[in-house]
Amino acid sequence: MQANFKRVATDEEGYDPAQVDEMIGLARTQFADPSSRVLRAAVLRTSQFRLVKGGYEIGAVDAALDRLDDAFAANEAKRLLAKRGHQGAQLHLDEMKKLILGRIDRPKSHRFDAASLFHKGYSKRQVDAVADLIAQALNGENELAISYLRQLVFSPRWGGYQENQVDAYIDKAVEFLQLSRGIL
């Protein structure tokens, strides 16, 4: 099933339509039968597509996936409430919060593993600043928009943090904020 996204010019790169169509097809299947559990919000958040000439516009696909991610997360919050009740769902959120804040308790510049010697990683200073913002938000000291976390771009640095660890951490923070909307 083909998605309805605008394509970039034939000499420009965009997302591979076949890969995007497959992901959108899975999302449609999930919405048609929410009990099927074909796709989770986390899969949408971490999806990556090959770049091809004449592919789908990247911004349009990313925006659509963000909307789907939010809708899936809202459904996951409803399922969690139905399965565990409000108190059980709150305990789940408390466990997630503890896990997320555990990284912040580590000393700055040592919150994540460093990239290997021959690879650049994310700027430790930038990542630590974002981690502090996340901690403040989880402690109720400020508001943090999910869109801000989705649009983060860290500068590459020798000796920086391992990208996969930071990406997983940001993803967990997004998941927590999304579930919090549906549970609290």
pLDDT in tens, 101-141: 999 999 999 999 999 989 999 999 999 999 999 999 999 99
Mean pLDDT of 16-43: 84
Measure the CA–CA gap between 44 and 32, rounded to whole angstroms.
17
Mean pLDDT of 69-95: 92
Average pLDDT, the chain: 92
**Which residues lie closer than 8 Å to 44 by C-beta, 6 or more apart?**
23, 27, 65, 68, 69, 72
pLDDT in tens, 48-63: 999 999 999 999 999 9
Which two structure tokens, joined as six digits, stand for 171? Answer: 């993803």
Q: Report the chain's C-alpha Rg in angstroms.
A: 18
Residue 183: predicted pLDDT: 84
**pLDDT tier at 1, thresholds 50, 70, 90:** low
- Residue 156 DSSP SS3: strand
Which two structure tokens, joined as six digits, stand for 73? Answer: 């997360």
For residue 17, is pLDDT > 90?
Answer: yes
Which residue pairs, CB below 8 angstroms and at least 24 apart, start in 36-43? Answer: 39/72, 40/72, 40/76, 41/69, 41/70, 41/72, 41/73, 41/76, 41/175, 41/178, 42/171, 42/175
Total-model pTM: 0.85
Q: How many residues does the chain have?
A: 184
Residue 117: predicted pLDDT: 85
User: Shortest CA distance to 172 belongs to which of 115, 117, 112?
Assistant: 112
